[in-house]
Amino acid sequence: MAHLVAVAADLRHLVPIFLSNRGKELQALREAFAAANYEVLRQLGNRMKGVGNPYGFRRISELGEHIVAGADARDAALLETTISGYAGYLSGLQVSYRD
């Protein structure tokens, strides 16, 4: 499924690095989930919460909130669903730039 995101044009040169970092973040989430490391999951979720919106990726901030909630509640089902949703979101991203 395609996820279309319009990002401010002045962020154009930052977005490739930003998305590369999100890929690394996804891998870190999977590893922390596999290890049931809820503290790391909470930290990663908080980072997603903080960084998604400012770059124009609101969905990343929302998924971060779910990760934090899942980590706080130690809710493995919510975490698994959210991490899977994050992977799907990143793989379907189509970014355009607006002035």
Partner 1 sequence: MSAPFYRITDAGRRALESKDPAVPSDYRFLLSLIDFGNEERLQNFIGQFPEQRLWDTLTEMEEIGLIARVAEPAGTHAETTAAREALSRHGAYLSEERLAARAPLGKTPAETVILIVEDDPDQLALADLRVSMAGYSVRAARNHATLLRSLRERMPDLLLLDVMLPDGDGFEILAKLRWHPAYRALPIVLLTVKNDPDDIVRGLKLGADGYITKPYSKRILADVVRRVLRP
Which one of residues 32, 38, 41, 55 is an interface residue with partner 1 (CB under 8 A)? 55
Contact 21, 48 (CB under 8 A): no
CB nearer to partner 1: give 33 or 49: 49
Contact 29, 85 (CB under 8 A): no
The footprint of partner 1 on this chain (CB under 8 A) covers a number of residues equal to 15
Stretch that binds partner 1, among 12-20, 31-39, 72-80, 81-89 (CB under 8 A): 12-20
Distance (Å) of CA 19 to CA 24, 51, 69: 9, 11, 23
Q: Residue 87 burial by CB count (10 A; 0-12/13-18/19+): exposed, middle or buried?
A: middle
Q: Is 18 in the site for partner 1 (CB under 8 A)?
A: yes
Tokens of 56: 């124009």
Closest CA to 30 of 44, 50, 18, 16: 44
Q: Is 16 in the site for partner 1 (CB under 8 A)?
A: no
Which one of residues 16, 50, 88, 92 is an interface residue with partner 1 (CB under 8 A)? 50
Q: Is 46 in the site for partner 1 (CB under 8 A)?
A: yes
Residues that bind partner 1 (CB under 8 A): 10-11, 14, 17-18, 21, 46-47, 49-51, 53-55, 61
